[in-house]
Amino acid sequence: MVGSPINGWRPTPKITSLLAALSDGSLKGVNAAAFDTRVRMFIHGDAAKKISHALKAGGADIIAEPMPFYVKGSEGPLRDGEIEKAQGWARRLLTSLGR
């Protein structure tokens, strides 16, 4: 699982750099999922989708749709209900892995 806050409409520079360093096929056989944290606004970036595409390009098997989690303000904490949303997502990930 790889996640990042949205930074300038995309994952943070460190996550972007890490994902860019993945060579094609380096994640072959790895199950992966992506998430981001974001502020609830009319318009925002989608770091989770970009992360998911990069993981897939690296050969990972994507086991879930990219997931956004919303924060209060620009740095958090998570908004009400987001912890429960994350717990549900984690349970679905485990189920998809047969656990």
Residue 12: is it exposed, middle or buried by C-beta count within 10 angstroms (0-12/13-18/19+)?
middle
- Residues 62-79 have a mean pLDDT of 93
Superfamily in which the 2-92 domain is placed by CATH: Flavodoxin domain (3.40.50.360)
pLDDT single digits (tens) 19-70: 999 878 899 999 999 999 999 876 767 999 999 999 999 999 999 999 999 9
pLDDT at 56: 96
Chain Cα centroid distance, residue 42: 20
40 near 82, Cβ under 8 Å? no
Res. 90 pLDDT band, cuts 50 70 90: very high
pLDDT at 77: 95
- Residue 68: beta bridge partners? 36
pLDDT at 75: 82
Res. 9 pLDDT band, cuts 50 70 90: confident
**Strand 31-32 with 67-71, pairing:** unpaired
**Residue 83 neighbours by CB under 8 Å, 6+ apart:** none
**Residue 68 neighbours by CB under 8 Å, 6+ apart:** 35, 36, 37, 38, 46, 48
Residue 39: is it exposed, middle or buried by C-beta count within 10 angstroms (0-12/13-18/19+)?
middle
**Domain positions in the chain:** 2-92
pTM: 0.91
pLDDT reading at 72 higher than 90: yes
